Copies of this chain bind each other. A is one copy, B any other.
Amino acid sequence: MTALVLEERGRLSLRPVDLPDALGPADVRIAIHTVGICGSDVHYYTHGKIGPFVVHAPMVLGHEASGVVTEVGATVTDLSVGDRVCMEPGVPDPNSRAAKLGLYNVDPAVTFWATPPVHGCLRPTVVHSAAYTYRLPDAVSFAQGAMVEPFAIGLQAATRARIQPGDVALVLGAGPIGMMVALAALAGGCARVIVTDRMLPKLDIIGAYDGIVAVPPDAVADHVADVTQGWGVDVVFEATGAAAVIAGLATHARPGGTVVLVGMPVDPVPVDIVSLQAKELRIETVFRYANMYPRAIALMASGKVDLTPLITATFPFAQSIAAFDRAVEARPSDVKLQITLP
């Protein structure tokens, strides 16, 4: 089949590949419909690696996908041919110690699409574990279905924050993940979510949602003081990964509040630990997600979360390379680019 292959750093091809596709008894085969382009796909394209993960051999990209079930394994009972679905790109060893604890995202044995040396899903069909394949209700389109993956990261952050009803949250950073976090926090119980970023076009996009207030960085302090009467926000989500932002992590949090570290700084960054201690803050970290797909789908299906305004443009599969080059441009008003397969 023809797939979008990262041949090496900086070079993509749309060309035939030969991938194993034997269907195990607990697997399903899926015809891919829509795939979103993630920052990590782009980073492999431009840098050839992310931290310890290095592209040593040609690798199919893509891990944010929706599609249609075309074949089911012998023991699969929850899915049927024709089901519209989305897929968790990471599959753990279900008997690992981490998986038994419900923490399958941190199982060292996870295989994850488009993380070397595992091939991704920018190709016509994939074989996938049925347990990590989720049916989409009629109310959730294929385009939204391909947004479940990034939204699951937002939900993982919101869940680990242990939001209490009526919390006020501050999201530092309005990139695609910051937006997902903001929407997850709002749907997940916050009364109000304040988002800030230096990129004003991004603020305009996320600030258009009811309940989200987008403010430029120099207005955050006053806005937080005003909304919280000087007490501080209940939860700070860090979604920039920028050292300068992390230096002031404690500034806007209330005593006893929470910080969630979503952004991933490449190198160690200075942290003012005493400022975190003086408010006795709790700091949560996030690594992908576990058990979030059903929650993401439920929030989309009920209409509580609508991610379609964040889909900036859609490209046919044949123009995948153009889509990636557009992603590399990083236009200020681009949020999510998607590719649809024939």
**Number of A residues with CB within 8 Å of any CB on chain B:** 83
Query: What is the total number of copies of this protein in its complex?
Result: 4
Q: How far is the CB of A9 from chain B (nearest CB, A)?
A: 21
Cα separation A107 to B261 with both chains bound (whole Å): 25
A42 in contact (CB, < 8 A)? no
Contact between chains at A273 and B256 (CB < 8 Å): no
Specify the chain B residue showing the minimal Cβ separation from A227.
Answer: B298
Residues in chain B near residue A295, CB distance under 8 A: 164-167, 191
A49 in contact (CB, < 8 A)? no
Specify the chain B residue showing the minimal Cβ separation from A167.
Answer: B295
A330 in contact (CB, < 8 A)? no
Specify the chain B residue showing the minimal Cβ separation from A105.
Answer: B280
Contacts A231-B97, A270-B270, A285-B280 given; does A189 touch B166 at CB 8 Å: no
A170 in contact (CB, < 8 A)? no
Residues in chain B near residue A78, CB distance under 8 A: 229
Cα separation A168 to B280 with both chains bound (whole Å): 24
Cα separation A40 to B312 with both chains bound (whole Å): 54
Contact between chains at B106 and A279 (CB < 8 Å): yes
Specify the chain B residue showing the minimal Cβ separation from A272.
Answer: B268
Specify the chain B residue showing the minimal Cβ separation from A282.
Answer: B284
Q: Which of B103, B130, B135, B299 contacts A165 (CB 8 A)?
A: B299
Apart from A102-B103, A269-B270, list 5 A-B contacts with CB within 8 A.
A100-B104, A101-B291, A164-B188, A166-B292, A192-B302
| 23 intermolecular pairs with C-beta atoms under 8 Å apart | A95-B129, A98-B256, A99-B100, A100-B290, A102-B103, A108-B255, A155-B165, A160-B282, A165-B299, A166-B295, A191-B298, A191-B301, A261-B277, A264-B274, A264-B277, A269-B270, A270-B270, A279-B285, A279-B287, A280-B285, A282-B282, A282-B283, A283-B283
